[in-house]
Amino acid sequence: MDKQDMNEGQSVFNLSYLKQPKGLWSWLVTLDHKRIALLYLSALIVFFFLGGVFALLMRLELAHVGKQMIDPDTYNILFTLHGVIMIFLFIVPGIPAVLGNFCLPLMLGAKDVAFPRLNLFSYYIYVAGAIMAIIGLSNPADTGWTFYAPYSVRTSTGVIMMTAAAFVLGFSSILTGLNFIVTIHRMRAPGLTWFRLPVFVWGIYATSVIQVLATPVVGMSLVLLIVERMFGLGIFDPKLGGDPVLFQHLFWFYSHPVVYIMVLPAFGIVGEVIPVFSRKPLFGYKMVVFSSVGIAAIGFFVWAHHMFVAGISDPSAKIFSIVTFAVAVPTAIKVFNWVSTMYRGSISLTTPMLYAMAFVFLFLIAGTTGVYLATLAVDVFYHDTYFVVAHFHYTIQGGAVIGLIMGLHYWFPKISGKHYNTIVANIAWALIMIGFNLTFLPQFVLGMEGMPRRYYDYPAEFQNLHTISTVGAFINGVGYMMALINLFVTFVWGKRFAEANPYEAIGLEWRAPSPPPTENFDQQPIVNHGPYDYGRVALH
């Protein structure tokens, strides 16, 4: 980059949303979707770190058979906090709140989301829920993030504060979803028809629908649980005439679709990254879109596959097994289309592209191991073993978290106006891949050997695999730290200013300066081509 470009970058930078208006207060009351995205991001990283530390403490305890350093009650609290924080405070808001907020209006060619004030309000509801959760840490629950009754009704630990926090966080999620749905319907640039929408926007759309429809149900069930604890009404506790299986139905009616809230936007990011770095249209664009919508729709009718051995009737177990298989098909279709996009491309192995390829590998493992769990007779064996633990970490960490990290790298020049250090980023990628697989591949084997989950201690025959898993977890942790610190250091002290469209991508967000000014575009963009018309649309 020569000096003139540098100066140009500097002047764009000073007009950006990051610099104008100035002052802490202007950030705290900002209505700018991009600033709100960064507010979310800073909170999420704190909780990602906290949840990660809890996970590493657990892995340390499990490294060797017998007691290492903490007692069983503390261990039970650790896995509860790890789950509650990672799910409700980190990965459910995750991609939609950060990358959805930042990119959605830009990708639609809009100035902001449909309801900017509501957007800020959603953020402060999230902050309120987060503060409640932090207060809850003084008397943490030991129920697991699933809060199963009647254990959660009877334990002496602080279930009420934790569930109340999750309840409040749900409102943030609902309002964000509502905001995005309206934004996508009403704020598209001229010419941006539904089938010209980038697949990331489709992913956010499908996710938002789930957020709006499913979140109220978990809110209700958590309130019922609180009422049960406070007044002993007899809804879930069989001693009082309640039904513990009912709680599981209500809980999973939300908490299964919620995994699609986590991964559908990540699917979308893969669908952005692969075409850009292959210089090819996304293969089978419409099938990829339909499969996202299909997953979101079918995802509402599979919840009881978490309950095959929970005491539900045999016919319902059979039906839920079959419906669950129906989700596998659209997921497979996506993978085939992503890989086919690379065929005869001109492929640059940039950091986001490396993450996208890692995502395909990890999600293949996540998806195929999901088939074991959908298969009724086989799930009887695997239910509540380490196989399940490994499976959902492949979907949620290998899917949603890798998706978030991939998206942060991909849009980083747009967000910060700067270029991160690629070598450091790629080393971090390698550490994450090695660490992650080393942590969770052995857990599949543990599950196959019959090791139950949520165990503080275990028979000695399981020890070697546990030790390997612990080593992997620490490598994984170092990888994430390295990736995030690299981005943070660049964000604050980086000097290499990014051009508006460093990847020569077609998406509308790349037409805005990097970083964009508060109102995003100088003039209203007009769209006259599909989202990935590489090889056909002249960019210059």
Partner 1 sequence: MFRFLPEQASNHAAKVDWLNNLITDISVACIVAICGAMLYFAFRYRKQGNSDQETPHIEGSNFLEIVWTAFPTLVCVYVAYYGVVYFADMREVPNEELEVMAEGQKWKWDFKYSNGKKTTGELVVPVGKPIKVLMTSTDVLHSFFIPAMRVKADVIPERYTYVYFEPLKTGDYHIFCTEYCGTEHSGMRARLKVVSEAEFNRWLEDDSDLLRLSRLKPADIGAELYVKSGCNACHSLDGSRLVGPSFLKLYNSAREFADGSKIDKADENYIKESVINPNAKVVKGFSPNLMPSFDGQLNADQIGAIIEFIKTLDGSSKAIVSGGTTSSNVDRAKLSPKERGELLYKEKICISCHSLDGSKVIGPSFKGLWERSGKLVGGGSYKADADYIKRSILEPQAEVVEGYPPAMPSYQGQLSDDEIGDIIEFIKSVK
* CA–CA separation, 236 and 226 (whole Å): 11
Is residue 484 part of the contact set for partner 1 (CB under 8 A)?
A: no
- Whether the CB-CB separation of 417 and 346 falls below 8 Å is answered with no
Is residue 448 part of the contact set for partner 1 (CB under 8 A)?
A: yes
Is residue 361 part of the contact set for partner 1 (CB under 8 A)?
A: yes
Helix (H, G, I), strand (E, B) or coil at 452: strand
Is residue 239 part of the contact set for partner 1 (CB under 8 A)?
A: yes
Bridge partners of 452? Answer: 385
Token pair recorded at residue 299: 């995802």
- Identify the residue among 148, 300, 301, 491 touching partner 1 (CB under 8 A): 148
Q: Which stretch binds partner 1 (CB under 8 A): 144-152, 193-201, 423-431, 469-477?
A: 144-152
Token pair recorded at residue 151: 């254990």
Q: What is the DSSP letter of 240?
A: G
Is residue 245 part of the contact set for partner 1 (CB under 8 A)?
A: yes
Least distance to partner 1 from the beta carbon of 281, Å?
Answer: 5
Q: Which stretch binds partner 1 (CB under 8 A): 40-48, 258-266, 344-352, 419-427?
A: 344-352
Place of tokens 């009704």: 153
- Identify the residue among 48, 303, 394, 456 touching partner 1 (CB under 8 A): 456
Q: Measuring CA to CA, which residue among 28, 193, 55 is closest to residue 473?
A: 55
Task: Kindly tell me which of 185 and 286 has the beta carbon lying closer to partner 1.
Answer: 286
* CA–CA separation, 139 and 155 (whole Å): 12
Is residue 364 part of the contact set for partner 1 (CB under 8 A)?
A: yes
Cβ neighbors of 118 (< 8 A, separation 6 or more) are: 175, 178, 179
Range 310-329, binding partner 1 (CB under 8 A): 310-311, 314, 317-318, 321-322, 325-326, 328-329
* CA–CA separation, 500 and 417 (whole Å): 8
Least distance to partner 1 from the beta carbon of 540, Å?
Answer: 13
Q: Which stretch binds partner 1 (CB under 8 A): 40-48, 177-185, 334-342, 466-474?
A: 334-342
Q: Which stretch binds partner 1 (CB under 8 A): 30-38, 41-49, 295-303, 341-349?
A: 341-349
Is residue 127 part of the contact set for partner 1 (CB under 8 A)?
A: no
Within 13 A of 346's CA, how many CA atoms are on the CB side?
Answer: 5
Token pair recorded at residue 436: 């992650």
Is residue 452 part of the contact set for partner 1 (CB under 8 A)?
A: yes
Is residue 375 part of the contact set for partner 1 (CB under 8 A)?
A: yes
- Identify the residue among 68, 238, 316, 423 touching partner 1 (CB under 8 A): 238
- Whether the CB-CB separation of 355 and 338 falls below 8 Å is answered with no
- Identify the residue among 119, 172, 207, 337 touching partner 1 (CB under 8 A): 337
CA geometry: angle at 245 spanning 240 and 248, to 5°? 120
